[in-house]
Chain A
Amino acid sequence: MSRAAQSAPDAPPAHPGALAAALRSTPVGMAVIVVALIVLFGVLSPNGAFFRVSNLSTITLNVSVTMLLAVGITYVLAAGELDLSIGSNVVLSAVIAAEVLVSLSGTPEQVRAGEYPNLALGVVAGTIAAILAGTLFGLVNGLLVTRLRINSFIVTLGTMGIGTGLAYVASNGVNVPNVPRSLQTGFGIEKLFGVIPYPMMVVLIISAVLWYMLRRTRFGLYTLAIGSSRDAAERAGIRSRRHILVLFVMMGALAGAAAMLDLTRFATTNIGGHQTTALAAIAAVVIGGTSLFGGRATIAGSMVASLIPVILGTGLVILGVPSFYQLIVVGAILIAAVFIDQRRRERLSS
């Protein structure tokens, strides 16, 4: 992916090579693959079931949490760091949010009877709890990485286990009971104009802000600079450790937000889930054109590429192929993407 294509919005007026460059850029290439997959499954599926609006909006719904995490982790990878703990952060934050939400929405008797007299209070407090819990999780990661100077791969491998363990401790190993179903019907599966699910709207808005930050602000440029050469960034007066701490905190806050979206989507805490969420998000980001080694990143690429595993999954299910094949495919794609990224990097620096 060329730099010129990456900074397309600010690039000088289009020249003959602009179209070719756009086609070579990863986000556009990914979009082509996504459309090809949709057409492929559409044609293969019985009666074109895959093409139905209901199916396509289910895909959008299923992708929203992964997309949010992918967009967030794009920053972490851009700075040359890694966060494997995001899935377990989502689970822990969802458990904490659900407990706060349920206990503030009504008395235990009311809640057990399915009545939520203080639902609004519960939802607001639950959302705040989710984001705070996620942020705190990210802060711990960030402090371990920047103060103790432990490699972020190891730190977040550790906190991944710790987070899952804490989620089981906090919930006694079972999903928090009595989460109001109205979370789901009122928001989680509700659609704007009957097409775009509300959670997806939230994800798109957050992604737009993060896209702007990466492309247009000092914060974004410093993130890339640190990932490209930490020495060069430091000598330009950028405080890289503080910046990396902020990135982990930001990632944590986004995982907290993802936890709340997940809670509204399923009206349950999903404590056994999200084991492969970090893998899927990182895979999407690398497939999308962000370098695993830092310095190069594209939010648009991450967004488009996060559709791929979900489309594959849904398509395979519609074709009657067991869904666990999706795991195999995603794992294989991740390895392939990293290999391509490595090759690209070697070629560029030779």
Chain B
Amino acid sequence: MGQRVRSEQGKPSSPRSDYVIEATDIVKRFGHVQALSGASLQVRPGEVLALVGDNGAGKSTLTKIICGALTPDSGRLAFWGETTTVTSIRHAQELGVETVYQDLALAPDLSVAENMFLGREPLTRGIFAGWPPSLDRKKMRQAARQAIAAAGISTLNSVDRAVRDLSGGQRQAIAVARAVMWATTAILMDEPTAALGTKQTDIVYESIRSAAARGLAVVVISHDIPKMLSLADRIAVMRQGRTVSNLPARDLTLTDVVTLMLGGHARGEAA
């Protein structure tokens, strides 16, 4: 599982677009709730895109549609310029897209190593002509240990510990490390630092930058706008189910972003 091998896996040999992910006019409703009413988002490889907006603006819903956890009612989704109907989370994973969910999606009774490999466990061949194939726990432990060390989670002494026994911050760090370990195209992070202390937060931000440096597209949802202004390359603002702007972070100030979130226009943006 060399990282170099994986980092090219999701990308076709001749991409048709500069954008890794392109979501256009996505609509999604839950019964009477119109969660998304024409949301769009584009992100390039190696770019960190911050997705900001008020509570209930539709940020989580939009990322869930991109990662295959929800199907949109209408709209177009393209990876590397190729229009794709993402049929399942597994499908998105095959496209190289990994997600850190707002609720983390870890199985509390399973160990750290088991969680990091869930759904993609390495197998060893059994003794009867390769049968029965069994879990390669040694490999799982080793790779999990490496990924955790790379993510700078120093407080976790064993990858055999059940996730239930970990602190909220450790769990969040595990979820992030899992996504970083598997992503080959893009990582979607829904408030990845919500439960973290300052030091852990910095580590997550660092892993976001280094994932981007590896050529991955990173979409980060966060309410920490000042931090996003310095971390992200671009800022997309959502309001009431729509993306109202997608601008380079360096052209924006905190006031601009807040104004956009609340319904005004940024300086320099055409009215």
A134 and B231 alpha carbons, distance in the complex (Å) = 60
| Nearest CB on B from A206, distance (A) | 15
Q: For B103, list chain A residues within 8 Å (CB).
A: 231
Binds B, one of A153-161, A235-243, A313-321, A335-343: A235-243
| Nearest CB on B from A24, distance (A) | 15
User: Which residues of A4-42 are within 8 A (CB) of B?
Assistant: 4, 7, 10-12
A225 and B138 alpha carbons, distance in the complex (Å) = 19
Q: For A216, list chain B residues within 8 Å (CB).
A: 132, 134-135
User: Which residues of B147-170 are within 8 A (CB) of A?
Assistant: 160-162, 164-165
Contact in complex: B119, A228 (CB < 8 Å): no
Contact in complex: A227, B119 (CB < 8 Å): no
Contact in complex: A217, B135 (CB < 8 Å): yes
Q: With A218-B123, A218-B135, A232-B118 in contact, do A224 and B101 touch (Cβ < 8 Å)?
A: no
Contact in complex: A229, B108 (CB < 8 Å): yes
User: Which residues of B118-142 are within 8 A (CB) of A?
Assistant: 118-121, 123, 132-135, 137-138
- Which of A12, A217, A237, A296 is in CB contact (< 8 Å) with B132? A217
Q: At the interface, yes or no: B89 with Cβ under 8 Å from chain A?
A: yes
Which residue, A234, A236, A348, has most C-beta atoms of chain B within 10 A? A236
User: Which residues of B72-110 are within 8 A (CB) of A?
Assistant: 88-90, 93, 99, 101, 103, 105-110
Which residue, B105, B108, B110, has most C-beta atoms of chain A within 10 A? B110
Contact in complex: B93, A348 (CB < 8 Å): no
Q: For B105, list chain A residues within 8 Å (CB).
A: 229, 231-232, 235-236
Which residue, A218, A224, A348, has most C-beta atoms of chain B within 10 A? A218
Closest to B119 in A: A236
Q: At the interface, yes or no: B69 with Cβ under 8 Å from chain A?
A: yes
A291 and B137 alpha carbons, distance in the complex (Å) = 23
Q: At the interface, yes or no: B114 with Cβ under 8 Å from chain A?
A: yes
Contact in complex: B118, A227 (CB < 8 Å): no
Closest to A216 in B: B134
Contact in complex: A235, B135 (CB < 8 Å): no
Q: With A232-B105, A237-B89 in contact, do A221 and B114 touch (Cβ < 8 Å)?
A: yes
Q: For A212, list chain B residues within 8 Å (CB).
A: 132, 134
Q: At the interface, yes or no: B111 with Cβ under 8 Å from chain A?
A: yes
Q: For A12, list chain B residues within 8 Å (CB).
A: 160
Q: At the interface, yes or no: A349 with Cβ under 8 Å from chain B?
A: yes
Contact in complex: A348, B165 (CB < 8 Å): yes
Q: For A291, list chain B residues within 8 Å (CB).
A: 109
Q: At the interface, yes or no: A3 with Cβ under 8 Å from chain B?
A: yes
How many residue pairs link A and B with beta carbons under 8 A? The number is 86
Q: For B118, list chain A residues within 8 Å (CB).
A: 221, 225, 232-233, 236, 238
Q: At the interface, yes or no: A295 with Cβ under 8 Å from chain B?
A: yes
Closest to A229 in B: B107
Which residue, B99, B118, B132, B161, has most C-beta atoms of chain A within 10 A? B118
Contact in complex: B110, A237 (CB < 8 Å): no
Contact in complex: A238, B119 (CB < 8 Å): yes
A217 and B69 alpha carbons, distance in the complex (Å) = 26
Contact in complex: A237, B93 (CB < 8 Å): yes
| Nearest CB on B from A298, distance (A) | 12
Which residue, B103, B107, B115, B138, has most C-beta atoms of chain A within 10 A? B107
Q: For A3, list chain B residues within 8 Å (CB).
A: 111, 160-162
- Which of B108, B119, B121, B133 is in CB contact (< 8 Å) with A295? B108
Q: For B162, list chain A residues within 8 Å (CB).
A: 3, 348
| Nearest CB on B from A347, distance (A) | 10
Q: Kindly list 15 other residue pairs between chains A and B, CB separation below 8 angstroms, not including A216-B134, A221-B121.
A: A4-B160, A10-B137, A212-B132, A217-B135, A221-B114, A225-B114, A225-B118, A228-B110, A232-B105, A235-B101, A236-B89, A236-B105, A236-B119, A237-B120, A295-B107
Write the residues of chain A forming the contact surface with B, with a CB cutoff of 8 angstroms. 3-4, 7, 10-12, 212, 216-218, 221, 224-225, 227-229, 231-238, 291, 294-296, 348-349
| 8 nearest A-B pairs in the assembled complex, by CB-CB distance | A295-B109, A236-B119, A237-B90, A228-B109, A228-B107, A236-B118, A216-B134, A237-B119
The contact sample of 26 A-B pairs, CB cut-off 8 A, is A3-B162, A11-B160, A12-B160, A212-B134, A216-B135, A217-B132, A217-B134, A218-B121, A218-B133, A224-B110, A227-B109, A228-B109, A231-B103, A232-B106, A233-B107, A233-B118, A235-B69, A236-B118, A237-B88, A237-B120, A238-B118, A295-B108, A295-B110, A296-B109, A348-B162, A349-B108
